[in-house]
Chain A
Amino acid sequence: MAYKDEKLSEEKVFKDPVHRYVHVRDRVIWDLIAAPEFQRLRRIKQLGITNLTFHGAEHSRFNHSLGVYEIVRRIINNFHDRKHWNEDERLLCLCAALLHDLGHGPFSHSFEKVFKLDHEYFTQQIVIGNTKVNEILERVSPGFSQKVADTIAKTYEDKLVVSLISSQIDADRMDYLQRDAYFTGVSYGHFDMERILRVMRPIDDQVVIKSTGMHAVEDYIMSRYQMYWQVYFHPVTRSAEVILSKILHRAKVLYEMRDYTFKLKPTHFVSFFEGEVDLSDYLKLDEMIVHYYFQLWQEEDDEILSDLCERFMNRRLFKYAEFNPNLQMDDWAELYELFQQAGIDPEYYLVVDSSSDLPYDFYRPGEEEERLPINLLMPDESLKELSRHSDIVEAISGKKRTDHKLYFPKDRLNELTDEAVKKRIKEILYGQGAKEDVE
Protein backbone atom coordinates (compact mmCIF):
# COMPACT_ATOMS: atom_id res chain seq x y z
CA MET A 1 0.00 0.00 0.00
CA ALA A 2 1.25 3.48 -0.86
CA TYR A 3 2.44 5.48 2.12
CA LYS A 4 -0.20 8.17 1.50
CA ASP A 5 -2.96 5.54 1.92
CA GLU A 6 -1.50 3.74 4.93
CA LYS A 7 -3.78 3.63 7.97
CA LEU A 8 -2.85 2.86 11.55
CA SER A 9 -4.03 -0.57 12.66
CA GLU A 10 -6.44 1.17 15.00
CA GLU A 11 -7.49 4.78 15.40
CA LYS A 12 -5.41 6.84 17.82
CA VAL A 13 -7.01 9.60 19.85
CA PHE A 14 -5.63 12.57 21.77
CA LYS A 15 -7.81 13.71 24.65
CA ASP A 16 -8.57 17.38 24.06
CA PRO A 17 -10.39 19.80 26.38
CA VAL A 18 -11.96 21.72 23.48
CA HIS A 19 -12.90 19.05 20.95
CA ARG A 20 -13.01 16.14 23.44
CA TYR A 21 -10.97 13.92 21.12
CA VAL A 22 -8.57 14.45 18.24
CA HIS A 23 -8.76 11.42 15.95
CA VAL A 24 -5.83 10.13 13.90
CA ARG A 25 -5.98 7.23 11.49
CA ASP A 26 -3.57 8.28 8.71
CA ARG A 27 0.01 7.06 9.09
CA VAL A 28 1.29 10.29 7.52
CA ILE A 29 -0.42 12.45 10.17
CA TRP A 30 0.81 10.20 12.96
CA ASP A 31 4.38 10.45 11.66
CA LEU A 32 4.18 14.24 11.28
CA ILE A 33 3.03 14.64 14.88
CA ALA A 34 6.06 12.66 16.00
CA ALA A 35 8.52 14.79 13.97
CA PRO A 36 10.90 16.91 16.09
CA GLU A 37 9.83 20.13 14.36
CA PHE A 38 6.22 19.47 15.36
CA GLN A 39 7.10 18.36 18.91
CA ARG A 40 8.94 21.68 19.29
CA LEU A 41 5.53 23.40 19.26
CA ARG A 42 4.94 22.00 22.75
CA ARG A 43 7.54 24.53 23.90
CA ILE A 44 5.89 27.54 22.25
CA LYS A 45 2.85 28.93 24.05
CA GLN A 46 -0.16 29.76 21.90
CA LEU A 47 -0.71 33.11 23.60
CA GLY A 48 2.88 34.01 24.43
CA ILE A 49 2.87 36.08 27.61
CA THR A 50 -0.89 36.30 28.09
CA ASN A 51 -0.43 33.92 31.03
CA LEU A 52 0.86 36.94 32.98
CA THR A 53 -2.69 38.31 32.81
CA PHE A 54 -4.79 35.14 32.52
CA HIS A 55 -2.84 32.55 34.50
CA GLY A 56 -4.53 29.60 32.79
CA ALA A 57 -3.23 30.54 29.35
CA GLU A 58 -0.41 28.01 29.35
CA HIS A 59 -1.58 26.10 26.27
CA SER A 60 0.82 25.56 23.42
CA ARG A 61 0.88 25.82 19.65
CA PHE A 62 1.02 22.01 19.70
CA ASN A 63 -2.47 21.89 21.28
CA HIS A 64 -3.80 24.43 18.79
CA SER A 65 -2.30 22.69 15.75
CA LEU A 66 -3.91 19.39 16.70
CA GLY A 67 -7.19 21.28 17.19
CA VAL A 68 -7.07 22.83 13.72
CA TYR A 69 -6.30 19.44 12.22
CA GLU A 70 -9.31 17.95 14.03
CA ILE A 71 -11.69 20.66 12.82
CA VAL A 72 -10.54 20.26 9.22
CA ARG A 73 -10.90 16.48 9.56
CA ARG A 74 -14.53 16.96 10.64
CA ILE A 75 -15.25 19.46 7.86
CA ILE A 76 -13.86 17.07 5.26
CA ASN A 77 -16.00 14.25 6.64
CA ASN A 78 -19.02 16.50 6.14
CA PHE A 79 -17.91 17.41 2.61
CA HIS A 80 -17.58 13.81 1.51
CA ASP A 81 -19.64 13.26 -1.68
CA ARG A 82 -20.54 16.95 -1.94
CA LYS A 83 -20.30 18.60 -5.34
CA HIS A 84 -17.09 20.67 -5.78
CA TRP A 85 -15.22 18.68 -3.13
CA ASN A 86 -12.26 16.71 -4.47
CA GLU A 87 -11.50 13.82 -2.11
CA ASP A 88 -7.96 13.64 -3.56
CA GLU A 89 -7.17 16.84 -1.66
CA ARG A 90 -8.06 15.30 1.72
CA LEU A 91 -4.54 14.47 2.88
CA LEU A 92 -3.21 17.81 1.64
CA CYS A 93 -5.82 19.66 3.73
CA LEU A 94 -5.07 17.60 6.84
CA CYS A 95 -1.30 18.11 6.54
CA ALA A 96 -1.66 21.86 5.91
CA ALA A 97 -4.01 22.20 8.88
CA LEU A 98 -1.64 20.33 11.18
CA LEU A 99 1.46 22.21 10.04
CA HIS A 100 0.09 25.73 9.44
CA ASP A 101 1.81 27.25 12.54
CA LEU A 102 5.01 25.22 12.38
CA GLY A 103 7.23 28.29 11.92
CA HIS A 104 6.15 30.14 15.04
CA GLY A 105 9.05 30.97 17.28
CA PRO A 106 9.18 31.90 20.96
CA PHE A 107 7.05 34.95 21.78
CA SER A 108 6.50 35.26 18.05
CA HIS A 109 5.08 38.73 17.95
CA SER A 110 7.91 40.51 19.79
CA PHE A 111 10.64 38.51 18.09
CA GLU A 112 9.21 39.23 14.66
CA LYS A 113 8.96 42.95 15.37
CA VAL A 114 12.39 43.38 16.91
CA PHE A 115 14.36 41.10 14.61
CA LYS A 116 12.25 41.70 11.48
CA LEU A 117 11.35 38.04 11.10
CA ASP A 118 8.33 36.35 9.62
CA HIS A 119 7.08 33.07 11.06
CA GLU A 120 5.38 32.25 7.75
CA TYR A 121 8.74 32.27 6.05
CA PHE A 122 10.04 29.75 8.59
CA THR A 123 6.93 27.59 8.18
CA GLN A 124 7.79 27.40 4.48
CA GLN A 125 11.42 26.61 5.27
CA ILE A 126 10.50 23.79 7.64
CA VAL A 127 8.02 22.27 5.20
CA ILE A 128 10.25 22.38 2.11
CA GLY A 129 13.69 22.39 3.79
CA ASN A 130 15.98 19.72 5.12
CA THR A 131 13.75 18.52 7.99
CA LYS A 132 12.00 15.41 9.20
CA VAL A 133 8.66 16.99 8.31
CA ASN A 134 9.82 17.45 4.73
CA GLU A 135 11.09 13.89 4.55
CA ILE A 136 7.65 12.58 5.60
CA LEU A 137 5.77 14.79 3.14
CA GLU A 138 8.03 13.83 0.25
CA ARG A 139 7.37 10.15 1.01
CA VAL A 140 3.72 10.86 0.18
CA SER A 141 4.76 11.91 -3.32
CA PRO A 142 7.56 14.01 -4.78
CA GLY A 143 6.49 17.65 -4.70
CA PHE A 144 3.83 17.08 -2.03
CA SER A 145 5.73 19.23 0.48
CA GLN A 146 5.56 22.16 -1.93
CA LYS A 147 1.79 21.70 -2.24
CA VAL A 148 1.48 21.80 1.55
CA ALA A 149 3.68 24.91 1.68
CA ASP A 150 1.60 26.60 -1.03
CA THR A 151 -1.65 25.77 0.76
CA ILE A 152 -0.37 27.28 4.00
CA ALA A 153 0.90 30.34 2.08
CA LYS A 154 -2.51 30.65 0.40
CA THR A 155 -0.97 30.39 -3.06
CA TYR A 156 -2.15 26.87 -3.91
CA GLU A 157 -4.20 26.58 -7.09
CA ASP A 158 -7.30 25.09 -5.42
CA LYS A 159 -8.82 28.04 -3.56
CA LEU A 160 -11.37 25.84 -1.85
CA VAL A 161 -8.55 23.95 -0.13
CA VAL A 162 -6.90 27.23 0.87
CA SER A 163 -10.12 28.66 2.28
CA LEU A 164 -10.53 25.71 4.66
CA ILE A 165 -7.16 26.52 6.23
CA SER A 166 -7.28 30.28 5.91
CA SER A 167 -10.28 32.51 5.32
CA GLN A 168 -12.43 34.72 7.46
CA ILE A 169 -14.19 31.66 8.86
CA ASP A 170 -11.63 28.92 8.95
CA ALA A 171 -10.50 26.06 11.13
CA ASP A 172 -7.60 28.12 12.54
CA ARG A 173 -9.82 30.85 13.98
CA MET A 174 -12.52 28.44 15.13
CA ASP A 175 -9.94 26.52 17.14
CA TYR A 176 -8.01 29.40 18.69
CA LEU A 177 -11.10 31.34 19.77
CA GLN A 178 -12.51 28.36 21.64
CA ARG A 179 -9.16 27.16 22.95
CA ASP A 180 -8.04 30.61 24.12
CA ALA A 181 -11.41 31.16 25.80
CA TYR A 182 -11.15 27.80 27.55
CA PHE A 183 -7.62 28.29 28.85
CA THR A 184 -7.96 31.96 29.81
CA GLY A 185 -11.21 31.13 31.57
CA VAL A 186 -13.16 34.03 30.03
CA SER A 187 -16.81 33.63 29.13
CA TYR A 188 -16.42 35.10 25.63
CA GLY A 189 -15.17 33.13 22.66
CA HIS A 190 -17.87 30.50 22.69
CA PHE A 191 -20.03 29.77 19.68
CA ASP A 192 -21.79 26.79 18.19
CA MET A 193 -19.05 25.28 16.05
CA GLU A 194 -20.97 22.09 15.39
CA ARG A 195 -23.71 24.16 13.82
CA ILE A 196 -21.23 26.11 11.68
CA LEU A 197 -19.61 22.91 10.45
CA ARG A 198 -23.03 21.56 9.49
CA VAL A 199 -23.90 24.62 7.40
CA MET A 200 -20.54 24.96 5.62
CA ARG A 201 -20.78 24.26 1.92
CA PRO A 202 -17.98 23.89 -0.61
CA ILE A 203 -18.51 25.80 -3.82
CA ASP A 204 -16.22 26.42 -6.75
CA ASP A 205 -13.41 28.37 -5.06
CA GLN A 206 -14.44 28.95 -1.46
CA VAL A 207 -16.35 27.64 1.53
CA VAL A 208 -19.67 29.42 2.07
CA ILE A 209 -22.30 29.27 4.79
CA LYS A 210 -25.87 28.15 4.17
CA SER A 211 -27.98 31.21 5.04
CA THR A 212 -29.95 29.32 7.70
CA GLY A 213 -26.73 29.16 9.73
CA MET A 214 -26.24 32.93 9.81
CA HIS A 215 -26.93 33.32 13.53
CA ALA A 216 -24.24 30.81 14.45
CA VAL A 217 -21.80 32.82 12.35
CA GLU A 218 -22.92 36.06 14.04
CA ASP A 219 -21.96 34.49 17.35
CA TYR A 220 -18.55 33.57 15.94
CA ILE A 221 -17.96 37.14 14.71
CA MET A 222 -18.98 38.56 18.09
CA SER A 223 -16.59 36.14 19.80
CA ARG A 224 -13.72 37.38 17.66
CA TYR A 225 -14.53 40.96 18.50
CA GLN A 226 -14.82 40.38 22.23
CA MET A 227 -11.76 38.16 22.50
CA TYR A 228 -9.67 40.82 20.83
CA TRP A 229 -10.47 43.57 23.31
CA GLN A 230 -10.84 41.39 26.40
CA VAL A 231 -7.95 38.95 25.91
CA TYR A 232 -5.59 39.55 22.99
CA PHE A 233 -5.26 43.31 23.44
CA HIS A 234 -5.53 43.31 27.23
CA PRO A 235 -3.52 46.34 28.49
CA VAL A 236 -1.63 44.30 31.11
CA THR A 237 -0.53 41.78 28.50
CA ARG A 238 0.50 44.67 26.27
CA SER A 239 2.61 46.00 29.15
CA ALA A 240 4.45 42.68 29.41
CA GLU A 241 4.90 42.67 25.64
CA VAL A 242 6.39 46.17 25.75
CA ILE A 243 8.94 45.01 28.34
CA LEU A 244 9.73 41.85 26.40
CA SER A 245 10.39 43.86 23.23
CA LYS A 246 12.59 46.29 25.13
CA ILE A 247 14.65 43.42 26.61
CA LEU A 248 15.34 42.12 23.11
CA HIS A 249 16.18 45.64 21.90
CA ARG A 250 18.53 46.24 24.80
CA ALA A 251 20.31 42.91 24.43
CA LYS A 252 20.80 43.62 20.72
CA VAL A 253 22.17 47.11 21.44
CA LEU A 254 24.61 45.71 24.01
CA TYR A 255 25.72 43.03 21.58
CA GLU A 256 26.32 45.66 18.89
CA MET A 257 28.35 47.82 21.31
CA ARG A 258 31.07 45.16 21.13
CA ASP A 259 32.77 46.54 24.25
CA TYR A 260 30.05 45.15 26.52
CA THR A 261 30.75 41.69 27.87
CA PHE A 262 27.72 39.63 28.77
CA LYS A 263 28.10 37.52 31.90
CA LEU A 264 25.99 34.98 30.04
CA LYS A 265 27.04 35.07 26.41
CA PRO A 266 23.88 35.26 24.25
CA THR A 267 24.87 32.28 22.08
CA HIS A 268 21.33 31.37 21.00
CA PHE A 269 20.62 34.99 20.05
CA VAL A 270 23.73 35.78 18.02
CA SER A 271 22.26 35.00 14.60
CA PHE A 272 19.16 37.03 15.55
CA PHE A 273 21.33 40.02 16.51
CA GLU A 274 23.37 39.62 13.33
CA GLY A 275 20.23 39.42 11.18
CA GLU A 276 21.27 36.11 9.67
CA VAL A 277 18.95 33.57 11.21
CA ASP A 278 19.12 30.18 9.51
CA LEU A 279 16.61 27.40 10.04
CA SER A 280 18.82 25.43 12.40
CA ASP A 281 19.35 28.44 14.72
CA TYR A 282 15.66 29.26 14.56
CA LEU A 283 14.55 25.79 15.59
CA LYS A 284 16.92 25.74 18.55
CA LEU A 285 15.32 28.73 20.22
CA ASP A 286 12.15 28.03 22.19
CA GLU A 287 10.50 29.75 25.12
CA MET A 288 12.32 27.68 27.71
CA ILE A 289 15.67 28.81 26.32
CA VAL A 290 14.53 32.44 26.26
CA HIS A 291 13.36 32.22 29.88
CA TYR A 292 16.72 30.77 30.83
CA TYR A 293 18.51 33.81 29.40
CA PHE A 294 16.09 36.27 30.97
CA GLN A 295 16.51 34.60 34.34
CA LEU A 296 20.30 34.93 34.19
CA TRP A 297 20.34 38.36 32.55
CA GLN A 298 18.87 39.72 35.78
CA GLU A 299 22.45 39.50 37.03
CA GLU A 300 23.94 41.49 34.12
CA ASP A 301 25.99 44.62 34.82
CA ASP A 302 23.88 46.64 32.42
CA GLU A 303 21.23 48.20 34.64
CA ILE A 304 18.62 48.53 31.93
CA LEU A 305 18.86 44.91 30.79
CA SER A 306 18.89 43.52 34.32
CA ASP A 307 16.00 45.74 35.42
CA LEU A 308 13.83 44.85 32.40
CA CYS A 309 14.51 41.14 32.88
CA GLU A 310 13.69 41.36 36.57
CA ARG A 311 10.43 43.12 35.72
CA PHE A 312 9.54 40.46 33.16
CA MET A 313 10.40 37.46 35.32
CA ASN A 314 8.69 38.81 38.43
CA ARG A 315 5.76 40.46 36.67
CA ARG A 316 6.67 43.94 37.80
CA LEU A 317 5.06 45.51 34.77
CA PHE A 318 4.75 49.05 33.46
CA LYS A 319 1.63 51.05 34.23
CA TYR A 320 -0.28 52.83 31.52
CA ALA A 321 -2.22 55.97 30.75
CA GLU A 322 -4.53 56.73 27.84
CA PHE A 323 -2.79 58.67 25.09
CA ASN A 324 -4.23 60.67 22.21
CA PRO A 325 -1.52 61.34 19.61
CA ASN A 326 -3.62 64.12 18.09
CA LEU A 327 -4.10 66.14 21.27
CA GLN A 328 -0.92 65.17 23.13
CA MET A 329 1.99 65.40 20.72
CA ASP A 330 3.46 68.30 22.71
CA ASP A 331 3.00 66.29 25.91
CA TRP A 332 4.98 63.46 24.39
CA ALA A 333 7.93 65.71 23.59
CA GLU A 334 7.87 67.23 27.07
CA LEU A 335 7.57 63.84 28.77
CA TYR A 336 10.50 62.52 26.76
CA GLU A 337 12.64 65.39 27.98
CA LEU A 338 11.45 65.07 31.60
CA PHE A 339 12.28 61.37 31.63
CA GLN A 340 15.77 62.18 30.38
CA GLN A 341 16.16 64.82 33.10
CA ALA A 342 15.05 62.27 35.67
CA GLY A 343 17.65 59.75 34.46
CA ILE A 344 15.04 57.29 33.18
CA ASP A 345 15.96 56.39 29.60
CA PRO A 346 12.79 57.09 27.58
CA GLU A 347 13.95 54.79 24.79
CA TYR A 348 13.21 51.88 27.13
CA TYR A 349 10.85 53.28 29.73
CA LEU A 350 8.39 55.48 27.82
CA VAL A 351 6.50 53.60 25.14
CA VAL A 352 3.40 54.31 23.05
CA ASP A 353 1.53 51.16 22.13
CA SER A 354 -1.23 51.23 19.50
CA SER A 355 -3.92 48.76 18.55
CA SER A 356 -2.27 48.35 15.14
CA ASP A 357 0.86 47.06 16.90
CA LEU A 358 -1.04 43.82 17.42
CA PRO A 359 -2.78 43.21 14.11
CA TYR A 360 -5.70 40.91 14.58
CA ASP A 361 -8.33 39.97 12.06
CA PHE A 362 -11.56 41.80 12.63
CA TYR A 363 -14.26 40.75 10.22
CA ARG A 364 -13.81 42.64 6.93
CA PRO A 365 -16.72 42.76 4.47
CA GLY A 366 -14.14 43.26 1.71
CA GLU A 367 -16.32 45.74 -0.14
CA GLU A 368 -13.60 46.58 -2.63
CA GLU A 369 -12.17 43.11 -2.99
CA GLU A 370 -9.36 43.80 -0.57
CA ARG A 371 -10.36 40.59 1.25
CA LEU A 372 -12.67 37.70 0.51
CA PRO A 373 -15.68 38.07 2.86
CA ILE A 374 -17.87 35.41 4.47
CA ASN A 375 -20.56 34.67 1.91
CA LEU A 376 -23.98 33.28 2.70
CA LEU A 377 -25.51 30.78 0.32
CA MET A 378 -29.08 31.94 -0.19
CA PRO A 379 -32.00 29.61 -1.01
CA ASP A 380 -31.85 30.67 -4.68
CA GLU A 381 -28.15 29.62 -4.76
CA SER A 382 -26.93 33.23 -4.96
CA LEU A 383 -24.22 34.49 -2.61
CA LYS A 384 -24.70 37.39 -0.23
CA GLU A 385 -21.95 38.98 1.85
CA LEU A 386 -22.62 38.43 5.57
CA SER A 387 -22.79 42.07 6.74
CA ARG A 388 -25.36 42.89 4.03
CA HIS A 389 -27.69 40.38 5.62
CA SER A 390 -26.82 40.61 9.32
CA ASP A 391 -27.43 43.83 11.25
CA ILE A 392 -25.16 42.64 14.06
CA VAL A 393 -22.21 42.01 11.78
CA GLU A 394 -22.85 45.25 9.90
CA ALA A 395 -22.72 47.12 13.22
CA ILE A 396 -19.39 45.72 14.36
CA SER A 397 -17.72 45.83 10.96
CA GLY A 398 -18.41 49.53 10.51
CA LYS A 399 -16.40 52.22 12.28
CA LYS A 400 -13.64 50.61 14.32
CA ARG A 401 -12.52 51.32 17.83
CA THR A 402 -8.80 51.99 18.05
CA ASP A 403 -6.58 52.54 21.03
CA HIS A 404 -3.28 54.14 22.06
CA LYS A 405 -1.67 53.84 25.47
CA LEU A 406 1.46 55.20 27.06
CA TYR A 407 3.46 52.71 29.15
CA PHE A 408 5.95 53.70 31.86
CA PRO A 409 7.42 52.39 35.16
CA LYS A 410 5.32 54.08 37.81
CA ASP A 411 7.54 52.72 40.60
CA ARG A 412 10.53 54.62 39.15
CA LEU A 413 8.51 57.82 38.99
CA ASN A 414 7.50 57.44 42.64
CA GLU A 415 11.16 57.16 43.60
CA LEU A 416 12.13 60.46 41.94
CA THR A 417 13.67 62.98 44.32
CA ASP A 418 13.27 66.00 42.04
CA GLU A 419 9.76 66.93 43.14
CA ALA A 420 9.20 69.47 40.35
CA VAL A 421 10.00 66.93 37.62
CA LYS A 422 7.96 64.26 39.39
CA LYS A 423 4.96 66.58 39.73
CA ARG A 424 5.07 67.68 36.10
CA ILE A 425 5.36 64.10 34.78
CA LYS A 426 2.36 63.05 36.81
CA GLU A 427 0.38 66.09 35.70
CA ILE A 428 0.94 65.12 32.09
CA LEU A 429 0.25 61.44 32.59
CA TYR A 430 -2.80 61.73 34.79
CA GLY A 431 -4.02 65.27 34.22
CA GLN A 432 -3.92 68.26 36.52
CA GLY A 433 -4.62 67.48 40.17
CA ALA A 434 -4.71 63.74 39.57
CA LYS A 435 -4.21 61.27 42.38
CA GLU A 436 -1.02 59.24 42.44
CA ASP A 437 -2.70 55.88 42.56
CA VAL A 438 -4.37 56.30 39.20
CA GLU A 439 -3.32 53.51 36.84
Chain B
Amino acid sequence: MLNNHAKIMQFFSVTNMVTGRKKLQKMIYILQKCNLPFEEKYQFHFYGPYSEELTLRVEELCNLGFLLEEKEDKSNYYQYNYQITSAGEDFLQQFSLDMPDMTSKVDMLQAKSSRFLELVSTMFFFDDLPLQENIEKVHTVKPKQKFSDKEIDEAVTFIAKLKQ
Protein backbone atom coordinates (compact mmCIF):
# COMPACT_ATOMS: atom_id res chain seq x y z
CA MET B 1 0.00 0.00 0.00
CA LEU B 2 1.46 3.34 -1.14
CA ASN B 3 4.93 1.83 -1.40
CA ASN B 4 5.88 4.04 -4.31
CA HIS B 5 4.82 7.09 -2.33
CA ALA B 6 6.96 5.89 0.56
CA LYS B 7 9.99 5.52 -1.71
CA ILE B 8 9.62 9.12 -2.82
CA MET B 9 9.29 10.16 0.83
CA GLN B 10 12.47 8.24 1.59
CA PHE B 11 14.20 10.40 -1.01
CA PHE B 12 12.88 13.59 0.59
CA SER B 13 13.97 12.39 4.01
CA VAL B 14 17.61 12.44 2.87
CA THR B 15 17.36 15.82 1.13
CA ASN B 16 17.13 18.92 3.25
CA MET B 17 15.24 20.69 0.50
CA VAL B 18 14.83 20.14 -3.23
CA THR B 19 14.90 23.41 -5.11
CA GLY B 20 12.81 23.28 -8.22
CA ARG B 21 10.52 20.88 -10.02
CA LYS B 22 12.89 20.39 -12.92
CA LYS B 23 15.71 19.46 -10.57
CA LEU B 24 13.43 17.04 -8.72
CA GLN B 25 12.40 15.36 -11.96
CA LYS B 26 15.99 14.90 -13.10
CA MET B 27 17.24 13.73 -9.68
CA ILE B 28 14.71 10.91 -9.42
CA TYR B 29 15.40 9.85 -13.01
CA ILE B 30 19.16 9.76 -12.47
CA LEU B 31 18.74 7.80 -9.23
CA GLN B 32 16.48 5.36 -11.09
CA LYS B 33 19.21 4.90 -13.68
CA CYS B 34 21.61 4.21 -10.78
CA ASN B 35 19.37 1.26 -9.84
CA LEU B 36 17.47 2.93 -7.01
CA PRO B 37 14.05 1.22 -7.09
CA PHE B 38 11.86 4.20 -8.03
CA GLU B 39 9.08 3.03 -10.32
CA GLU B 40 7.85 6.27 -11.87
CA LYS B 41 7.63 6.00 -15.63
CA TYR B 42 9.63 8.54 -17.60
CA GLN B 43 9.34 9.74 -21.20
CA PHE B 44 11.57 12.02 -23.17
CA HIS B 45 10.16 15.54 -23.40
CA PHE B 46 11.35 18.88 -24.72
CA TYR B 47 13.59 19.40 -21.68
CA GLY B 48 14.70 15.79 -21.25
CA PRO B 49 13.29 12.88 -19.23
CA TYR B 50 10.06 13.78 -17.46
CA SER B 51 7.59 11.73 -15.44
CA GLU B 52 3.96 12.79 -15.18
CA GLU B 53 3.54 10.01 -12.63
CA LEU B 54 6.15 11.63 -10.38
CA THR B 55 4.50 15.03 -10.74
CA LEU B 56 1.14 13.58 -9.69
CA ARG B 57 2.66 11.62 -6.81
CA VAL B 58 4.37 14.72 -5.44
CA GLU B 59 1.09 16.63 -5.72
CA GLU B 60 -0.61 13.88 -3.73
CA LEU B 61 2.09 13.98 -1.07
CA CYS B 62 1.68 17.76 -0.82
CA ASN B 63 -2.10 17.50 -0.56
CA LEU B 64 -1.73 14.88 2.17
CA GLY B 65 0.50 17.24 4.14
CA PHE B 66 3.55 14.98 3.87
CA LEU B 67 5.52 17.47 1.77
CA LEU B 68 5.68 21.23 2.01
CA GLU B 69 5.73 23.04 -1.33
CA GLU B 70 6.95 26.63 -1.35
CA LYS B 71 6.57 28.86 -4.38
CA GLU B 72 9.46 31.26 -4.85
CA ASP B 73 9.22 34.27 -7.15
CA LYS B 74 12.38 34.42 -9.27
CA SER B 75 11.23 37.59 -11.13
CA ASN B 76 10.77 36.01 -14.58
CA TYR B 77 9.58 32.60 -13.36
CA TYR B 78 8.42 30.75 -10.26
CA GLN B 79 10.45 28.06 -8.56
CA TYR B 80 8.85 25.39 -6.38
CA ASN B 81 10.81 24.04 -3.41
CA TYR B 82 9.98 20.89 -1.47
CA GLN B 83 10.73 19.54 1.98
CA ILE B 84 9.39 16.77 4.16
CA THR B 85 7.00 17.63 7.02
CA SER B 86 6.71 15.97 10.43
CA ALA B 87 3.53 14.22 9.20
CA GLY B 88 5.62 12.98 6.30
CA GLU B 89 8.24 11.63 8.70
CA ASP B 90 5.49 9.82 10.64
CA PHE B 91 4.09 8.36 7.40
CA LEU B 92 7.51 7.11 6.39
CA GLN B 93 8.07 5.41 9.73
CA GLN B 94 5.17 3.06 9.01
CA PHE B 95 7.16 1.46 6.19
CA SER B 96 10.15 -0.83 6.29
CA LEU B 97 11.55 -0.12 2.86
CA ASP B 98 14.33 -2.20 1.45
CA MET B 99 16.10 0.69 -0.27
CA PRO B 100 19.85 1.03 -0.74
CA ASP B 101 21.41 4.06 0.91
CA MET B 102 21.21 6.95 -1.56
CA THR B 103 22.66 9.71 0.63
CA SER B 104 25.95 10.18 -1.18
CA LYS B 105 24.33 10.16 -4.62
CA VAL B 106 21.66 12.61 -3.49
CA ASP B 107 24.37 14.93 -2.11
CA MET B 108 26.21 14.82 -5.42
CA LEU B 109 23.03 15.63 -7.34
CA GLN B 110 21.99 18.38 -4.93
CA ALA B 111 25.26 20.20 -5.56
CA LYS B 112 24.55 20.51 -9.30
CA SER B 113 22.38 22.92 -11.28
CA SER B 114 19.18 21.82 -13.00
CA ARG B 115 20.82 22.61 -16.37
CA PHE B 116 23.66 20.22 -15.59
CA LEU B 117 21.22 17.55 -14.38
CA GLU B 118 19.25 18.01 -17.61
CA LEU B 119 22.43 17.17 -19.50
CA VAL B 120 23.26 14.19 -17.27
CA SER B 121 19.74 12.78 -17.41
CA THR B 122 19.67 13.16 -21.20
CA MET B 123 22.95 11.27 -21.48
CA PHE B 124 21.52 8.57 -19.25
CA PHE B 125 18.42 8.41 -21.47
CA PHE B 126 20.59 7.50 -24.46
CA ASP B 127 22.99 5.28 -22.52
CA ASP B 128 22.42 2.38 -24.91
CA LEU B 129 24.43 4.34 -27.50
CA PRO B 130 28.24 4.38 -27.64
CA LEU B 131 29.64 7.53 -25.98
CA GLN B 132 30.35 9.51 -29.15
CA GLU B 133 26.89 8.77 -30.58
CA ASN B 134 25.38 9.59 -27.20
CA ILE B 135 27.05 13.04 -27.26
CA GLU B 136 25.90 13.64 -30.83
CA LYS B 137 22.35 12.69 -29.86
CA VAL B 138 22.45 15.15 -26.95
CA HIS B 139 23.41 17.95 -29.35
CA THR B 140 20.71 16.82 -31.79
CA VAL B 141 17.86 16.79 -29.29
CA LYS B 142 19.07 19.85 -27.37
CA PRO B 143 20.54 22.27 -29.91
CA LYS B 144 19.33 25.35 -28.05
CA GLN B 145 21.07 24.49 -24.79
CA LYS B 146 24.43 24.60 -26.58
CA PHE B 147 26.16 22.34 -24.08
CA SER B 148 29.92 22.99 -24.23
CA ASP B 149 32.60 20.30 -24.55
CA LYS B 150 33.63 21.15 -20.99
CA GLU B 151 30.11 20.51 -19.69
CA ILE B 152 29.90 17.25 -21.61
CA ASP B 153 33.26 16.08 -20.21
CA GLU B 154 32.13 17.04 -16.73
CA ALA B 155 28.90 15.08 -17.23
CA VAL B 156 30.78 11.98 -18.39
CA THR B 157 33.02 12.11 -15.29
CA PHE B 158 30.02 12.76 -13.06
CA ILE B 159 28.13 9.76 -14.45
CA ALA B 160 31.17 7.54 -13.90
CA LYS B 161 31.37 8.70 -10.26
CA LEU B 162 27.66 8.13 -9.73
CA LYS B 163 27.98 4.58 -10.96
CA GLN B 164 30.84 3.75 -8.57
Contacts and interface: CB of A to CB of B under 8 A. Distances in A.
Interface of A: 112, 118, 120, 153-155, 157, 159, 205-206, 324-326, 329, 332-333, 352, 354-356, 359-361, 364, 366-372, 399-400, 402, 404
B64 A325 contact: yes
A324 B50 contact: no
A369 B76 CA distance: 12
B33 interface: no
Contacts of B5: 325, 354, 356
A354 B50 CA distance: 20
28 contacts: A112-B41, A120-B43, A155-B44, A155-B126, A324-B64, A325-B64, A329-B91, A329-B94, A333-B94, A354-B5, A355-B56, A355-B60, A356-B59, A361-B52, A364-B55, A368-B21, A368-B22, A368-B77, A369-B22, A369-B114, A370-B25, A370-B55, A371-B45, A371-B46, A400-B63, A402-B59, A402-B60, A402-B64
Contacts of A370: 21-22, 25, 47, 50, 55
Contacts of A155: 44, 126, 137, 140-141
The dominant DSSP class at the A interface is loop
Contact of A326 (B25, B46, B91): B91
Contacts of A325: 2, 5, 64, 91
B47 A404 contact: no
Nearest to B139: A157
B52 A369 contact: no
Interface in B40-82: 41, 43-47, 50-53, 55-57, 59-60, 63-66, 77-80
A23 to B, nearest CB: 30
Contacts of A206: 46
A372 B21 contact: no
A367 B77 contact: yes
A82 to B, nearest CB: 21
Contacts of A333: 94
B22 A326 contact: no
Contact of A368 (B1, B56, B80): B80
Nearest to A403: B60
B41 A118 contact: yes
The 3 A-B residue pairs whose C-beta atoms are closest, nearest first, are A372-B46, A356-B56, A359-B53
Nearest to B1: A352
Nearest to B140: A157
A369 B78 CA distance: 10
A62 to B, nearest CB: 23
Contacts of B108: none
A106 B45 CA distance: 26
Interface string B6-24: 0000000000000011100
Nearest to B20: A368
A154 B43 contact: yes
A327 to B, nearest CB: 9
A157 B141 contact: yes
Given A154-B44, A155-B44, A324-B64, A356 B20 contact: no
Given A112-B41, A206-B46, A367-B78, 15 more contacts: A155-B137, A157-B141, A326-B66, A329-B94, A354-B60, A355-B56, A367-B80, A368-B114, A369-B22, A370-B22, A371-B46, A371-B47, A371-B50, A372-B46, A402-B63
